[in-house]
Chains A and B, each alone.
Chain A
Amino acid sequence: MGKAARREARERLKQQRLKEQQKAKRNRVLLVVGAAVVVVALVVAVGYFVVMRDRGGGDVELPPQALQTDGSVVLADSGADAPVLEIYADYQCPACKQFETATGSAIQEMAAAGEVIVHYRPVSIFALRGEPLGSNSLRGGAAARAAADAGKFVEYNDVLFENQPAEGSAGFSPDELKQWGEDIGIDDPAFAERVDAESEVADRFAQDYAPELLEKAQGELGADSISTMPVTDLIAWGDENGVDSSFLDDTYVLEILEATGAVNERYDGENAFAGTPSVYLNGAKMGNEMYSASSLRSAVAEAEPGEPQSTPAEDTDTGADGEGAGGDAGASPSPSTSPSADAKE
């Protein structure tokens, strides 16, 4: 056997060993990468499952919903002796939509089971933001109020959030608003008429009135004081300074603006209203735990029974068991009662 042949054999062996080592390394890399992929997949899958399960869902047989004199709506099982969950939301506010998506079903289930009294209080924090933000917000809010006349506020509330326009895009057109009403079974022609009328008022507010008011106020009050001023105060200032707001009289647009002004007076200190969505459990403002259905459920379960701070618009079989419910306000059935009358907390 020649030297050359031996060298060749050695070389071949070496090559083979090298190949095996490379293969072993490749296998080790595949092993760790595979393990890493499994870890990522596990974490994501478990997390996704937990979030989706937390939401719950499914159709709930809704308990009675009672319109209040200030245009808000109380959803409660008749005779429910339960904590009060107040929900302040703007139909154009994206975080409100996410709150609704994450907890809406759970809240309705709790209400149906008599575990909570839900007080829906739509507001418009975007009212003065012009087109399309402000007009979307006001059109949506006013239409929800019209749906409350038909006894379908809660259903309509859900539909509005499902179809919320992207921030900065036009949406909630009168035709859509009317169609969604039909979809959930509002067949009273008064609803469609009201939606059309209110949409015109909302558009006028956002296109003409708000810019004029803001321009005038900016010149005389300064931008800083305007930004902290409740919208109703600004409107009142406008009336005294030549910006006429009478086109708002007796409209649901005004009602939602008044609801927005009222919440600023209703709460202060650590409970102060600072944007939507704001959720109060028996008058105490909730933190980020409100975005999880399960933590919201446990907070409600631990809370004492309460009374909604408002007056039913008329005698209905509402969950508030009547005794002293919002006895602080004149129980006028007029829909345009002063919302500050129920500032009690």
Chain B
Amino acid sequence: MNTGPTEQNTASGRPDGGEAPDPAPSGETGGAPAPPWKARLAAAQPWATLVCRVALAGILAFAAYTKLPPALSIQSVEAYQLFPSGVAEFIGITLPMVEFALALLLLLGLATRYVAAATGLLMLVFIAGIASAWARGLTIDCGCFGTGGAVAPGETAYGLDIARDIGFAALAGIVMLWPRSPLSLDRLAGLYR
């Protein structure tokens, strides 16, 4: 990612080489003026990212909370029958904590781009897990929110679960591609300003 030459530019330009000009309404408007819709989009982006960040943080924190107690979270992982029991136990105990930590970081806006990438990756892993349970004909609750385990054959909701996780992955993708947003610790560190 080759970003702008000055610190201001580093911060304002899309770090991934987006061609949008400095969206700050004031300040120098060097170069050709962008079409107004583009400027408006650029001005709205940080707030859109903030909304996605906070929404994702809320979703993750809620998911972590509803997975407790750890004993039942372990059971949810074991229901996938993908891991030896020691591994399932470790995942079951640590997954809610990982989710909680990611939620905290998103809320604080620390390492926003990378935390969002990790969250998106986590969602992809979840999707793979649900798809594998579906493909193997297991009848389980995904344990995404709340505690999982076996359910009656007619009560699975794999398609819905996957669609929902795709939505969450999309939120994470937005934050990852446009990490610049107000109220973030990254700004204090001089990033994505």
Task: Write the residues of chain A forming the contact surface with B, with a CB cutoff of 8 angstroms.
Answer: 14, 17-18, 21-22, 25, 28-29, 31-33, 35-36, 39-40, 43-44, 47-48, 51-52, 94-95, 97-99, 101-102, 166-168, 288, 291-292
Q: In the assembled complex, which residues on chain A have CB atoms less than 8 Å from the CB atom of B150?
A: 94, 167-168
Per a CB cutoff under 8 Å, which of A22, A39, A47, A94 touches B110?
A39
Q: Is the CB of B104 within 8 A of A39?
A: yes
Least CB distance, B149 to chain A, in whole angstroms = 6
Q: Chain B 1-15 against A: per-residue CB contact (8 Å), 1 yes, 0 no?
A: 001011100100000
Per a CB cutoff under 8 Å, which of B79, B96, B105 touches A167?
B79
The answer to the question of B94 belonging to the interface, with a C-beta cut-off of 8 Å to chain A, is: yes
Least CB distance, A76 to chain B, in whole angstroms = 24
Least CB distance, A183 to chain B, in whole angstroms = 19
A152 to B110, CA, bound (A): 55
Known: A33-B114, A40-B102. A95 touches B72 (CB 8 A): yes
Known: A33-B114, A39-B110, A99-B71. A28 touches B191 (CB 8 A): yes
**Nearest A-chain residue to B112, judged by Cβ:** A32
A32 to B110, CA, bound (A): 6
26 chain-A/chain-B pairs, Cβ below 8 angstroms? A18-B5, A21-B6, A21-B10, A22-B3, A25-B191, A32-B114, A32-B185, A33-B114, A36-B114, A39-B110, A40-B102, A43-B104, A44-B98, A47-B94, A47-B96, A48-B94, A95-B71, A95-B72, A97-B75, A98-B72, A99-B71, A101-B89, A167-B79, A167-B149, A168-B138, A291-B71
Q: Which residues between 147 and 193 of chain B lie within 8 Å of chain A, taking CB atoms?
A: 147, 149-150, 185-186, 189-191
Given contacts A43-B98, A51-B93, A94-B75, 12 further A-B contacts (CB under 8 A): A25-B3, A29-B191, A31-B189, A32-B110, A32-B111, A40-B105, A48-B93, A51-B70, A98-B72, A98-B75, A168-B138, A292-B71
Q: Which residues between 1 and 59 of chain B lie within 8 Å of chain A, taking CB atoms?
A: 3, 5-7, 10
Prevailing SS type, chain A contact patch: helix
Task: Write the residues of chain B forming the contact surface with A, with a CB cutoff of 8 angstroms.
Answer: 3, 5-7, 10, 68-72, 74-75, 78-79, 81, 89, 93-94, 96-98, 100-102, 104-105, 110-111, 114-115, 138, 147, 149-150, 185-186, 189-191
Q: Is the CB of A48 within 8 A of B191?
A: no
Least CB distance, A306 to chain B, in whole angstroms = 25
Q: Is the CB of A47 within 8 A of B97?
A: yes
Least CB distance, A256 to chain B, in whole angstroms = 20
Q: Is the CB of B75 within 8 A of A95?
A: yes
Q: Is the CB of B6 within 8 A of A36?
A: no
Q: In the assembled complex, which residues on chain A have CB atoms less than 8 Å from the CB atom of B78?
A: 94, 166
Which of B5, B69, B149, B190 neighbours the largest number of chain A CB atoms within 10 Å of its CB? Answer: B69
**Nearest A-chain residue to B106, judged by Cβ:** A36
Q: In the assembled complex, which residues on chain A have CB atoms less than 8 Å from the CB atom of B89?
A: 101
A69 to B89, CA, bound (A): 37
Q: Is the CB of B7 within 8 A of A94?
A: no
A33 to B101, CA, bound (A): 13
A36 to B69, CA, bound (A): 25
Q: In the assembled complex, which residues on chain B have CB atoms less than 8 Å from the CB atom of A18?
A: 5
Q: In the assembled complex, which residues on chain A have CB atoms less than 8 Å from the CB atom of B189?
A: 28, 31-32
Q: In the assembled complex, which residues on chain A have CB atoms less than 8 Å from the CB atom of B147?
A: 95
Least CB distance, A210 to chain B, in whole angstroms = 17
Q: Is the CB of B97 within 8 A of A39?
A: no
Q: In the assembled complex, which residues on chain B have CB atoms less than 8 Å from the CB atom of A168?
A: 138, 150
Q: In the assembled complex, which residues on chain A have CB atoms less than 8 Å from the CB atom of B111?
A: 29, 32-33, 35-36
A40 to B100, CA, bound (A): 9
Q: In the assembled complex, which residues on chain A have CB atoms less than 8 Å from the CB atom of B94?
A: 44, 47-48
Least CB distance, B82 to chain A, in whole angstroms = 11
**Nearest A-chain residue to B11, judged by Cβ:** A25
Least CB distance, B68 to chain A, in whole angstroms = 8
Q: Is the CB of B69 within 8 A of A94?
A: no
A318 to B9, CA, bound (A): 79
Q: Is the CB of B186 within 8 A of A40?
A: no
Least CB distance, B65 to chain A, in whole angstroms = 12
Per a CB cutoff under 8 Å, which of A39, A52, A98 touches B105?
A39
Q: Is the CB of A95 within 8 A of B115?
A: no
Known: A43-B97, A43-B101. A98 touches B191 (CB 8 A): no
Q: In the assembled complex, which residues on chain B have CB atoms less than 8 Å from the CB atom of A17?
A: 5
Q: In the assembled complex, which residues on chain A have CB atoms less than 8 Å from the CB atom of B81?
A: 166
**Nearest A-chain residue to B89, judged by Cβ:** A101
A32 to B111, CA, bound (A): 5
A40 to B95, CA, bound (A): 11
The 3 residue pairs across chains A and B that have the minimum distance between CB atoms: A36-B111, A47-B97, A98-B71
Q: In the assembled complex, which residues on chain A have CB atoms less than 8 Å from the CB atom of B71?
A: 95, 98-99, 101-102, 291-292
Q: In the assembled complex, which residues on chain A have CB atoms less than 8 Å from the CB atom of B98?
A: 40, 43-44
Q: Is the CB of A39 within 8 A of B101?
A: yes
Per a CB cutoff under 8 Å, which of B93, B97, B100, B105 touches A36?
B105
Q: In the assembled complex, which residues on chain A have CB atoms less than 8 Å from the CB atom of B70?
A: 51, 102, 291
